[in-house]
Amino acid sequence: MLSFLDKSHSIAPSNYNRWLVPPAALAIHLCIGEVYGFSVFTKPLTQLVGVTAPTAGDWSVASVGWIFSIAIVVLGVSAAIFGKWVEERGPRLAMFAAACLFGLGFVVASFGASAHQLWLIYFGYGVIGGCGLGIGYISPVSTLIKWFPDRPGLATGTAIMGFGGGALIGGPLAVALMKHFSGPASTGVAPTFLTMGVLYFCFMLIGAFIVRLPATGWAPASYVPPVAGARKLVTTQNVLVGDAVKTPQFYLLWVVLCMNVTAGIGVLGQASLMIQEMFPSHFPHDTDAAIKASAAAAAGFVSLLSIFNMLGRIFWASSSDYLGRKNTYTIFFLLGIVLYALVPTLGRSGNLALFVVAFLIILTMYGGGFATIPAYLRDVFGTQHVGAIHGRLLTAWSAAGVLGPVLINYIRQYQIDHGVAKADAYSVTMYVMCGLLAVGFICNALMKPVEERHHALVAEASTV
Amino acid sequence: MANEAPSTGGNYTLQLVLAWAVVAIPLLWGIQQTWVNVQKLFAAPTAASATAAAPATTSK
């Protein structure tokens, strides 16, 4: 059984259809993307004792919020640590390990919910599940890049679109399960965690069983390898992960990803509050019924952002195959600066429709940034070790996951504390985001091909 | 390049259909569920003001 998981047993036969690999990747990413829908558990987790309302002994929203933060930080760290192992052992074992860890994380969190032990949920969902997230995130991406040398952007976009789509499935699924399991004495969180753990484990196994690696030297029939120098940044060489982290290109791309994600994640977390505060006439708070209706409408806005976040991943990543990776990020940063700078004006003018459109475009570029970066890494460092290098780069996501929300929350609060009206409290934040995007633009503009001394020898390149 | 293989083909049609169906069905369900939420945004001003106005009307 275990030998089936070996890298050598997952090499595809010569007639294998490579279009089976994207659904294998999606089977993993659609599951682990659930982490972005975790907020549906926040309220029930703060009412485990009181059931209908929080009571003495219940956890606070802030302490429950740490579950998501721990999971995202561990995602980045585990991707960095296990990236090399994933490349060494192949995608099937990596996906199997991800399925076990992600499923086990839910099971341990279920015990934590039934025993009302928050540390068990931190450890289960945050640490064990977070490791599953990290390994599960990188393994399908590097495999797809190897299968689609002719369309790496499309390939990575497909997988990472699944991560965006995972939230769309995980949120409603969790809500439906909690509704099913809840009763007068229970919020239904513990059995929901357990059920989701089992479901996700089984679904991720499908991906692990389908996935195959191409044989060494395989290429699509119509594929013409890039000629050295034809596209300045696209290399025909490979760089080992240990050498990649010694290049300025790695750190420039780290900042590029971090700035793009910081700007997007900051507004994504505050989108509901932001639209209500910037458009008080459209989202009235004068009665309880109006407050509920406004909150529901704002939640609709967040849902719309999630859909565009997902669509942007496939759209921008596949477009980058034609535009070039550097040009795609140039668009993200320049268009992003214009749109973020426009947001305060759109708020003051009361133009809700244009405000929504601006944020939808911003969110496509946020998702697009995630989906395009693996193909960018492949262009710069080669195909062979892209999984391990991608893993190291994902620490930028962990940093952005803390930086983005902190920036937007603290600047907003500082403004309000200093007498700025709530509707105007986001102006400075938006301009700060423009500054971050300008930093990203400069780093992207500085990208050059990796120096030849970092290229691996042919013998080295085939080993990790 | 060595070991060239057809990018599509082989006897994988059924597996392809099944594999894509397995991932597409839950994804479409998730999008449909999310779209139900999105509708509330388009109904925002009307819903909010109508619901807000409702108690006043009945109290009269």
| Number of Cα atoms under 13 Å in the Cβ half of residue A97 | 23
State whether B48 and A297 contact (CB < 8 Å).
Answer: yes
**Residues of chain B below pLDDT 50:** 1-7, 46-60
**For the purposes of burial, counting CB atoms within 10 Å of the CB of B13, is it exposed (0-12), middle (13-18) or buried (19 or more)?**
exposed
Residue A330 pLDDT level (bands cut at 50, 70, 90): very high
When pLDDT is averaged across residues A331-350 and rounded to a whole number, the result is 93
Q: Check: CB of residue A124 under 8 Å from CB of residue A108.
A: yes
Prediction ipTM score: 0.85
Candidates A163, A304, A308: best to mutate against B (most CBs of B within 10 A) is: A304
In chain B, what residues touch A216 (CB-CB under 8 Å)? 3
- Give the pLDDT confidence score for residue B18 in this predicted structure: 95
pLDDT > 60? residue A352: yes
Q: From CA A324, how far away is CA A332, in angstroms rounded?
A: 13
How high is the pLDDT of residue A5?
83
Q: Which of A36, A169, A314 should be substituted to probe chain B, the one whose Cβ sees the most B Cβ atoms within 10 Å?
A: A169
- Closest CB from B26, B40, B52 relative to A287: B52
**What domains can be seen in chain A, in order of their start residue?**
2-210 (1.20.1250.20), 241-461 (1.20.1250.20)
Nearest-5° Cα angle at A80, A74 to A84: 135
Report pLDDT for A421: 83
Q: Give the per-residue pLDDT at A286.
A: 81
8 Å CB contact of B44 and A297: yes
- How far A99 CA lies from chain B's nearest CA (Å)? 16
**Can you spell out the DSSP letters for A415-437?**
HHHTT--GGGTTHHHHHHHHHHH
Which one of A303, A314, A356 makes the best mutation probe of the B interface by having the most chain B beta carbons within 10 Å?
Answer: A303
Is B29 within 8 Å of A216 when comparing Cβ atoms? no
Measured in angstroms, the CA of B28 and the nearest CA of chain A are apart by: 9
Whether A30 has its CB under 8 Å from any CB of chain B: the answer is yes
340-369 of A, contacting B, C-beta below 8 A: 356
Q: How far is A248 from chain B (nearest CA, A)?
A: 32
Q: How many helices (H) and strands (E) does chain B have?
A: 2, 0
* Contact across the interface for A26 and B23, Cβ inside 8 Å: yes
- Biggest CA pair distance of chain B: 84
- Quick one: CA dihedral A261, A436, A391, A128, positive or negative? negative
Q: What b/e string do you get for A320-356 counting C-beta neighbours within 10 Å, with b at 16 or more?
A: bbebbbbebbbebbeebbebbebbbebbeeeebeebb
pTM for this entry:
0.86
pLDDT tens sequence across A404-424: 878 887 888 888 888 888 778
Work out the average pLDDT over A91-101: 96
Output A418 or A338, whichever has higher pLDDT: A338
pLDDT number for residue A462: 54
A132 closest CA partner among A47, A72, A195, A53: A72
| pLDDT 10s digits, A192-211 | 999 999 999 999 999 999 99
Token pair for A221: 């029939």
Return the pLDDT at A419: 86
Q: Are residues A165 and B30, on separate chains, in Cβ contact within 8 Å?
A: yes
The angle that helices A325-349 and A427-445 make with each other, rounded to 10 degrees, is: 170
A285 min Cα distance to partner chain B (Å): 9
Mean pLDDT over each residue of chain A, to the nearest integer: 89
Tokens of A129: 């599940």
pLDDT band at residue A317 under the 50/70/90 scheme: very high
Measured CA to CA, the distance from residue A361 to residue A199 in angstroms comes to 33
- Output the six-digit token pair for A165: 């789509």
CA nearest to B31, candidates A162, A114, A403:
A162
Report yes or no: A210 at the B interface, CB cutoff 8 Å.
yes
Q: List pLDDT tens digits, range A242-281.
A: 889 999 999 999 999 999 999 888 787 778 888 888 888 8
Restricting to A residues 441-460, those with a Cβ less than 8 Å away from any Cβ of B are: none
d(C-alpha A66, C-alpha B27), whole Å: 28
- Residue B50 confidence (pLDDT): 45
Contact list in B for residue A292 (CB cut-off 8 A) is 51
End-to-end CA distance of chain B: 82
**Residue A138 one-letter amino acid:** I
Q: List the beta bridge partners of residue A11.
A: A213
Which of B51, B57, B58 is the best mutation test for A, with the most CBs of A within 10 A?
B51
Is a pLDDT exceeding 80 seen at residue A236? no
With CB atoms and an 8 Å threshold, state whether B16 touches A17: yes
| CB A441, CB A333: distance < 8 Å | yes
Give Cα separations from A142 to A41, A202, B17 (angstroms).
32, 22, 24
Does the pLDDT at position A36 exceed 90?
A: no
Q: CB–CB of B12/A20 below 8 Å?
A: yes
Q: How far apart are CA A284 and CA A294, in angstroms?
A: 6
pLDDT digits (tens, 9 = 90+) for A151-203: 989 999 998 999 989 989 998 999 999 999 998 889 999 999 999 999 999 99
